[in-house]
Chains A and B, each alone.
Chain A
Amino acid sequence: MSNKIVLGYDDSEAAKSALAFAVSLAKAQGAELVIAHVLEWSPYSFLTPEEIEQRHKRREEELKRAEDALLAPVRKSLEDDGVTVSTELKYGHIAETLIDVIKKSGANHLIIGRTGHSALSSRLFGSVAGSLAQAAPVPVTIVP
């Protein structure tokens, strides 16, 4: 069975630790790494007329920025390191979208960083790590 690991990645410190952990694991297991970045987006939010007009342009810019600043450098350095790696860049609800990526790629492991929310905000809104731990279809490793 092919081994595939999805890594939820952003520009946080925790994500960098998670990346390091995922890389060591992928090397040890000879697994393939899927690095996924989700741009938070709800189709049910509210926009002003100007924002609607600019949205298409903004989206292209956001995608380009995430690809250039976040995903491309990581992909390059991992490829140089000899790890089999691919990237996914999506819009949506972070936890739901990561679950979609897991299902589509057929991965068997999810690794995410633990982002430091205050106890209160996690209690009110839940945390991404928490909801993934509960809802992901594969084992989840949360890296502090």
Chain B
Amino acid sequence: MRKSIKAAALSAPLLLAATAPAMAQSVDERVNELFASSTGWFVNLIFSPFPGTSFPWIVAWLVVAATVFTLYFGLIQFRAFPHSISLVKGDYSDPNDAGEVSHFQALATALSGTVGLGNIAGVAVAVGIGGPGATFWMILAGLMGMASKFTECTLGVKYRNEFEDGHVSGGPMYYMTKGFAERGLPMGKFLAVLFSVFCILGAFGGGNMFQANQAHAQISGVVGDYPGWITGVVFAAVVFAVIVGGLKSIARVTEKVVPFMGVMYVAAALVILAMNADKIGWAFGQIFEGAFTGAGVAGGMVGALIQGFKRAAFSNEAGVGSAAIAHSAVKTKEPITEGFVSLLEPFIDTVVICTMTALVIIITGQLIQDPNTGLYLLDEGASTIQTVDGNKGVALTSAAFSSAFGWFQYVLALAVILFAFSTMISWSYYGLKAWTFLFGEGQTTELVFKVIFCIFVVIGAAANLGPVIDFSDAAIFAMAVVNIIALYFLMPIVKKELNSYMARLKSGEIKKYS
């Protein structure tokens, strides 16, 4: 008897230790279930296909918008490209304005909000489902998205609010209210409120939960599996310290390290491509072939197209309206110059960085092909392509890069954590601007938002990738629905600004300083 009690006493802690991970896992599971069931209807609404097809209407919405802006502004993304570069270099900056935010700084800050997991994990999701052909549509979406970004960022600066103490608030909600009023259009206020609601959801989703989720996936990939909420709590604590505690030093370090990481990421990709130079032609062949035939990919060509456009929009956020918030704080005499600068963003983000990721995944042979037919093999559910070791999302990118350099997974893990973090900080700002638009500026209302934001970090890290990515996409695309409606109504204003600026540039009234 005695012995058995002793044995029980001894085994109790062991038993506890054994059940602890199970309990922890069940916390993750419960969070996941609750989250998936409460957001499902919203996701279905945004991604519902056209009747009788499998083509989601939201993808068509984005493509049509980008095409309209591209045509309406006469291929502005190509025409204004050299001028945009001169602006960023500071050729047109008045030296007497030194000390104000430069175009370069505005671009760098906006980029550190967009360059992130979309470029690393999102692209892997796209080629994992849509095959190499998705890359083609992604690049095309990136090029056309430049025109959307140009439109929204010009408006963002033009209609921002300048407060008496000198601080500035801008973004789609401000051009919706002020721009619509100026043109005598109704519903501006309604759109602004709707946009703000979606922007807050987007900040919690793609700008937060998706980041936390993939950061956890990356860390557990390196150190071994452990419950997601632990990563969530740590991340939430750091985010809290920065956005609530005003710990600027962390944010500043991130802002400095992120561009460095971005350059390093592209450099590593270029080295891997150079090492496999003989396969680059083949990879582009796969991309073009897949783009138009959808060879052996789930959903065929349309599947590749949908994935390409979806992930491009998610990565560069063109037409979403978030960049309009980021750029509008810049002090400039000409709103249109900020539009020019911002059109470089989708180029750098999607056409350069996303393409690098896709090429590395394709070239290192992560997607398994049938050796006889050359078609990609699908996994059991026939929804994704089989990969070496069954990796998906960020793990697929990690595997692709580490197949060339074993140590790169550690660099990538660090990059993912930093990208995730800087994207969260940026989106906490976007979400906050929408929040204060709805509830007014003030310390208490701002604090409420920031605390909720931190709670979502934990939920995001604990939930599964599927529901998180669905909700993140849905929220961000919902922003685009409202924002693009406003852009259609306000684009004549941008055209007027553009024509006036171009005329003055030609006449020499706007001149270079250096």
State the A residues within 8 Å of B (CB). 39, 41, 43-57, 59-60, 62-63, 90-92, 100
Interface pair B101/A92, CB less than 8 Å apart: no
From A43, A56, A90, give the contact of B90 (CB < 8 A).
A43
Q: Which residue of A lies closest to B93 (CB)?
A: A43
State the B residues within 8 Å of A (CB). 90, 93, 95, 98-102, 104-106, 108-109, 112-113, 165-169, 248, 251-252, 255-256, 259, 326, 329-331, 425-426, 429
Interface pair B100/A44, CB less than 8 Å apart: no
Q: Which residue of B lies closest to A60 (CB)?
A: B166
| Complex alpha-carbon distance, A63 and B166, angstroms | 15
Interface pair A52/B98, CB less than 8 Å apart: no
The answer to whether A56 and B105 touch (CB under 8 A), given A46-B256, A48-B255, is no
Q: How far is the CB of B61 from chain A (nearest CB, A)?
A: 28
| Complex alpha-carbon distance, A91 and B113, angstroms | 27
Interface pair B331/A56, CB less than 8 Å apart: yes
Describe B's contact surface by its main secondary structure: helix
| Complex alpha-carbon distance, A47 and B109, angstroms | 6
- What are 8 A-to-B residue pairs whose CB atoms are below 8 Å? A48-B109, A52-B101, A53-B167, A55-B100, A56-B101, A56-B166, A56-B168, A63-B99
Interface pair B99/A48, CB less than 8 Å apart: no
| Complex alpha-carbon distance, A56 and B24, angstroms | 48
Taking each of A41, A44, A48, which has the highest tally of chain B beta carbons within 10 Å of its own beta carbon? A48
Interface pair A52/B105, CB less than 8 Å apart: yes
Interface pair A50/B98, CB less than 8 Å apart: no
Describe A's contact surface by its main secondary structure: helix
Interface pair A53/B109, CB less than 8 Å apart: no
Taking each of B90, B101, B252, which has the highest tally of chain A beta carbons within 10 Å of its own beta carbon? B101
| Complex alpha-carbon distance, A52 and B106, angstroms | 8
From A43, A50, A57, give the contact of B165 (CB < 8 A).
A57
Interface pair B426/A49, CB less than 8 Å apart: yes
| Complex alpha-carbon distance, A85 and B90, angstroms | 32
Interface pair A57/B167, CB less than 8 Å apart: yes
Q: How far is the CB of A52 from chain B (nearest CB, A)?
A: 5
| Complex alpha-carbon distance, A46 and B105, angstroms | 6
Q: How far is the CB of B160 from chain A (nearest CB, A)?
A: 10
Interface pair B248/A48, CB less than 8 Å apart: yes
Q: How far is the CB of B487 from chain A (nearest CB, A)?
A: 22
The answer to whether A49 and B167 touch (CB under 8 A), given A43-B90, A56-B331, is no
Within 8 Å CB of B167, what residues of A?
Answer: 53-54, 57
Within 8 Å CB of A90, what residues of B?
Answer: 98
Interface pair B329/A49, CB less than 8 Å apart: yes
Interface pair A49/B330, CB less than 8 Å apart: no
Interface pair B165/A55, CB less than 8 Å apart: no
| Complex alpha-carbon distance, A97 and B326, angstroms | 30
Interface pair A55/B251, CB less than 8 Å apart: no
What are the 3 A-B residue pairs with the smallest beta carbon separation, nearest first? A57-B166, A43-B102, A91-B99
| Complex alpha-carbon distance, A47 and B52, angstroms | 49
| Complex alpha-carbon distance, A57 and B113, angstroms | 23
Within 8 Å CB of A49, what residues of B?
Answer: 109, 113, 326, 329, 425-426, 429
Within 8 Å CB of B169, what residues of A?
Answer: 53
